[in-house]
Amino acid sequence: MLIIHYLYNILLIIVLIKSFILGEKNGFSAQNNLFFFLFITVLVEGYSFVVDKIDESILIGLQYNLYLIFVTVFFYFFYSKNFYSKISKALSKILLLICLLFIIFFTKFLGLDFDEKIAIAVMLFLIIHSIIWYYNKLFSVNDDEIFNDPNFWISSGLLLWSCFGIFRCLPMYYFYNNDKEFSNFIKSNFDVVNIILYLSIFISLSKYEHNFKRGTTSNN
């Protein structure tokens, strides 16, 4: 199962490189600034990977607590550019406020241990935003094929990742203490879900590139 984790890390770096190349060519805003999300993700995962190899007893929960807060804020701004109705934008702001207030007052986000309540709150935030995006897309007057929309791939990947992530977080410590083999099985399968997520982001970057070229061609 360790090979799956290595594959995930390799894929993450490949996606980051693709995002950087596209950003240099077309501008990072042309891909909704995904490069910065990917860059922070690589830093967090890279640090975790190195620390785990040096000493597994070192607590790295704090970095993931703060990373999840970053993810929340990043995707709030990401979706704010893709929500066009006032209701969707207002709902997004309310959800962000609720999520951040919950994290500040009801979690130990500055603790050295990973707080699964933060993960659950952030994943619920992402699930709802993905569903709102689907709703807006399905009822929009845009005739473009949904599979050509980069945001479809990102929203689909986030939806799958978040749903599985909640399933992983809820019983995480129980299984770690009582059934370590099953806990490792869930962890390995989450690496598979991570791979699917970043494959989805890779596809979305390709769609951004295609749409940018199509827009450039149509303007010539």
CA distance 160 to 130: 10
What residue segments make up the domains of the chain, in order of their start? 2-215
Closest CA to 64 of 182, 168, 199, 220: 168
DSSP structural state of residue 147: G
- Which tokens in the block code for residue 36? 């910065």
81-121 pLDDT per residue, tens: 888 889 999 999 999 999 999 999 999 999 999 999 999 99
Query: How do residues 153-170 score in pLDDT, each as one tens digit?
Result: 999 999 999 999 998 887
Nearest to 154 by CA among 102, 105, 206: 206
Helix then strand then coil, in percent of the chain rounded to 5, is: 85, 0, 15
For the full predicted model, state whether its pTM sits above 0.85: yes
